[in-house]
Amino acid sequence: MKFEIMFGILFTLLVKRKVSAGEFARRYEVSVRTIYRYVDEMTVAGIPMDVTRGSTGGISIPDSFKLPKGLFTREEYARTAEAMLAMIGQTHDPVLEAAYGKLTAQTKTEKFDTALSGNILVDSGTWGDERKFSDKLTIVDRAIEECEALEIEYFDRAGEATRRIIHPHLLIYKQNIWYAWAFCMLRGEFRTFRIGRMRVINSAGEKFERKPFRREDIPLNFWRNEKIAEVKLKIAFEKLPYAEDWLGVENIYKRDGEYFAELVLPDDEALVGNLMSAGAGITVISPPALAERIKKEAEKISASYVE
């Protein structure tokens, strides 16, 4: 919290140049003495801040001061701002909106040598869900920030629903999907929960103490303990965009004028569903058992349309 307040003070002064200690204290819900202490630390760190007393006094920063040009490259600055804007679009977090305003204010008031291209928009919801997915993401994000336990109704890969209490510690965004890394009270261990599979999310009415973990503790291959299949596929040209989005362009190669993919995938109903969605455009070469499952599923679909 300390460094968040210090960054807030700095970016606010870059825009307004002079703000009273009392205003900062009210904004961040700390004492005036604490604000002065943070200002002293920032001054020692090399930021030229000045404090004047009295009714017209306040904390100020010279008009000549701006963020060092070497702090961000043009691309780094644009990408940072775009990433913040994308997250705001998902969570509608007023704190992020304020931080974004402070960061981009530099381009307006200081003529910083860059421009926000604004060409990234992240929307992980489904078509027509409006704010439902964003609302769920916002609830989980706030619970992480405030160490608030959540009660969720969760549907696993097999479609089975369970109610459980979770202690969310981290949001993970991978392959266009949002997950929560949370301690599950039902299982007594950390689990990865897909946000889209949470039908109901409510506050459990209790706080939790964060558990220490390392980045390497997080299983980014979420299906590593599940059944997997070494799959080889033949891909029709017209289905290349679908296959590239699903499998990744790096896993697709061209040989003798035809397209193929070879990779390891979780062997579940989602695999069958993705293959069926491609229709005749993707053919399973191996394993034979997967090809047989696709054939049987196609036969069932065909039979359902027979009068």
Q: What is the pLDDT of residues 285-294, one digit of tens each?
A: 999 999 999 9
Does 111 have pLDDT greater than 50?
Answer: no
Helices (H) and strands (E) in the chain, counts: 9, 12
Residues of the chain above pLDDT 70, percent: 72
149 domain residue, yes or no:
yes
Which pLDDT belongs to residue 114? 39
Q: Are residues 138 and 205 in the same domain?
A: yes
Residues 184, 166 contacting (CB under 8 angstroms) = yes
Give Cβ neighbours of residue 165 (< 8 Å, ≥ 6 apart): 149, 150, 151, 184, 185, 186, 204
What would the mean pLDDT of 215-244 be, rounded to a whole number?
79
What would the mean pLDDT of 63-89 be, rounded to a whole number?
62
163 domain residue, yes or no:
yes
Q: What's the number of domains the chain is made of?
A: 3
117 domain residue, yes or no:
no
Amino acid at 8: G
Q: Are residues 210 and 237 in the same domain?
A: no
DSSP string, 32-79: HHHHHHHHHHHHHTT---EEE-STT-EEE--TT----TTSS-HHHHHH
71 domain residue, yes or no:
no
Structural domain ending residue among the three candidates 198, 217, 236: 217
Tokens 């193929």 belong to residue: 260
Structural domain ending residue among the three candidates 60, 78, 108: 60
Q: Are residues 212 and 288 in the same domain?
A: no
Q: Are residues 164 and 189 in the same domain?
A: yes
Structural domain ending residue among the three candidates 170, 193, 217: 217
Supply the CATH number for residue 241's domain: 3.30.70
Q: Are residues 255 and 202 in the same domain?
A: no
83 domain residue, yes or no:
no
> How many CA atoms, within 13 angstroms, populate the side-chain half-sphere of residue 292?
3
126 domain residue, yes or no:
no
DSSP letter, residue 305? T
127 domain residue, yes or no:
no
Q: Are residues 191 and 144 in the same domain?
A: yes
79 domain residue, yes or no:
no
Does 200 have pLDDT greater than 90?
Answer: no
pLDDT band, very low/low/confident/very high, at 232 (cuts 50, 70, 90): very high
What gap in Å lies between CA 20 and CA 7, rounded to an integer? 16
Q: Are residues 212 and 236 in the same domain?
A: no
Supply the CATH number for residue 196's domain: 2.30.30
Q: Are residues 196 and 143 in the same domain?
A: yes
Residue range(s) defining the domain that contains residue 233 = 228-303
Supply the CATH number for residue 36's domain: 1.10.10.10
Does 116 have pLDDT greater than 80?
Answer: no
Closest CA to 178 of 245, 126, 227: 126
Average pLDDT of every residue of the chain: 78
Which pLDDT belongs to residue 113? 39
Q: Are residues 206 and 136 in the same domain?
A: yes
Q: Are residues 201 and 266 in the same domain?
A: no
Q: Are residues 209 and 241 in the same domain?
A: no
Q: Are residues 271 and 241 in the same domain?
A: yes
